Amino acid sequence: MDVDTNYLESLSKSVSNVSDEGMSRVSALVKEQLSLEKMVEDTEAELKAVKERLRKVSEETLPSVLFEYGMRELKMADGTVISVSPYYGASIPKDRTDEAFVWLRENGFGDLVKNAITTSFGREEDEKANKLANQLADMGYAVSKKVWVEPMTLKAFVKEQIERGEELPQDLLGVFVGERTKIKRK
């Protein structure tokens, strides 16, 4: 590695031209930035912990206590309404995507599976860009293909199917169903 001695000399001169007061200001600002970075890190960790506590109360503890007393909804004296409603989620395990896509297609839900083909072109290659992906590969262009199901579409599909009473391969689609409380303030 070549060292530019001119650059090092100019850097040395610029640092030596900074007064003690200037270095003190820079040092103070460096300390402040480091302190703020630590505060952000700590605050994000604290927020993550608070969100987890909220999730546990909303999805586990409060619904469980309400069910224990035979309630799905409770209206408080101040008009606040606490209700328990189901929520649905799904996330296809990465190691089972091919299998999940086959199941969706074979069971009439192939429209949930999306495809994207991407390639890069240089300037003035608009005509080539309009050709089909397999023609592009034959021409030597690198083509990447992505096949996926939109997470929110999958979630809506799972909700619809479960509410209809349809059977789904729960482990294949990563299905989870839970109860969650909602509090509406008056």
Please spell the DSSP secondary structure of 107-171, one letter per residue: TT-GGGEEEEEEE---TT-HHHHTS-HHHHHHTT--EEEEEEE-HHHHHHHHHHHHHHT----HH
| pLDDT for residue 52 | 97
Q: What percent of the chain is modeled with pLDDT above 90?
A: 67
pTM greater than the 0.85 cutoff: no
Which helix (DSSP H) or strand (DSSP E) does residue 51 occupy? helix 20-56
Asked whether the predicted pLDDT for residue 1 surpasses 60, the reply is no
Using CB atoms within 10 A of its CB, is residue 10 exposed (0-12), middle (13-18) or buried (19+)?
A: exposed
Contact 97, 109 (CB under 8 A): no
CA atoms within 13 A on the CB side of 110: 5
From 83, 69, 68, select the one nearest 179 (Cα to Cα).
83
| pLDDT for residue 165 | 95
Identify the residue with better confidence: 122 or 152.
152
Lowest mean pLDDT among 2-6, 55-59, 104-108, 159-163: 2-6
| pLDDT for residue 173 | 95
The neighbouring-strand residues paired with 119 are: 143
- The rounded Cα 122 to chain-centroid distance in angstroms is 32
Identify the residue with better confidence: 21 or 58.
58
| C-alpha–C-alpha distance, residues 7 and 14, integer Å | 10
* Average confidence (pLDDT) over 56-72: 95
| C-alpha–C-alpha distance, residues 61 and 68, integer Å | 10
| pLDDT for residue 15 | 64
Identify the residue with better confidence: 123 or 35.
35
Residue 139 confidence class, pLDDT cut points 50, 70, 90? confident
Sign of CA dihedral 153, 158, 161, 167: positive
Asked whether the predicted pLDDT for residue 117 surpasses 90, the reply is no
Identify the residue with better confidence: 88 or 120.
88
